[in-house]
Each structure stands twice: as C-alpha cells, then as structure tokens.
Amino acid sequence: EEYTPEDITARAETGSDPLCVRTVETLAGIFGSVAGDLVLSLGGWAGVYLTGGVLPILLPWLKHGGFRERFESKGRFRETMEQVPTVAMMHPEPGLLGAAALAVLDAGKPLVPGA
C-alpha cells in the first residue's frame, strides 16, 4: 500500500503502524545528524533555529526521539554540541517576523514597548 506523507505521520502519531513510527523517528534522527554536522562545519555555536512546514508535525519526535542524541553525537565534540541550543520556530512567517524586527531596530525603536 502506498502512503502519503500525511498518512505516515498520522499513523506514527497514533502508533498504529510500527513502520510509520520508525520512519518518522529515522527522519528526526537524520535531521539531528545533519543539523549537528552543519553546526560543526559552519560554526553555529550560538544556536540552531529549526523552521519549516513539517516542523509542527515532527516536533514530538524532535523533542523525544533521536534528534538531540544524533545532533550531539559528534565524537570528541559531544560536550561542545551539548551546549548548542536548538530552538523550534513555530511562527508561520519567521523570515518576515525577523525582517520586521530588524526594521524596527534600524528605526531606533525598542522591540519591546516600554523598554
């Protein structure tokens, strides 16, 4: 039987199909490995911001699955990687929100009213 991505995540969420659960767990782990590799290669020591339309669907597995273990599992760099935060950006338009924040700051105004 062919499954759509929506079918896979729905069945993984309910736990009704072990293969779907394994598929989503594997995807979260690969995501963690790649994110960790990018930190090591590009130097994102201040943190990693996760965004995208699939993020709300994968969030339970990112929180409790292999994401963070695979993110940190970088041999002699493990202790360093444990200090790098990962933040899920759930805003529907994070790029526009960031651009608006920069425009406000560029105008000389504080981001928080009354600050």
Give the integer Cα–Cα distance in Å for 50 and 40.
16
Q: What is the pLDDT of residue 30?
A: 94
The highest-level CATH class for domain 5-90 is: alpha beta
Q: What is the pLDDT of residue 115?
A: 61
Q: Report residue 105 as tokens.
A: 């700051």
Q: What is the pLDDT of residue 114?
A: 65
Q: Rounded to a whole number, what is the largest CA-CA distance in the chain?
A: 58
Q: How far is CA 105 from the centre of its chain?
A: 26
Cβ contact 39:48 at 8 Å: yes
pLDDT per 10-residue tile (average), the chain, 115 residues: 92 94 93 96 93 86 90 97 94 87 86 68
Measure the CA dihedral 72/78/79/83, to 10°.
-30
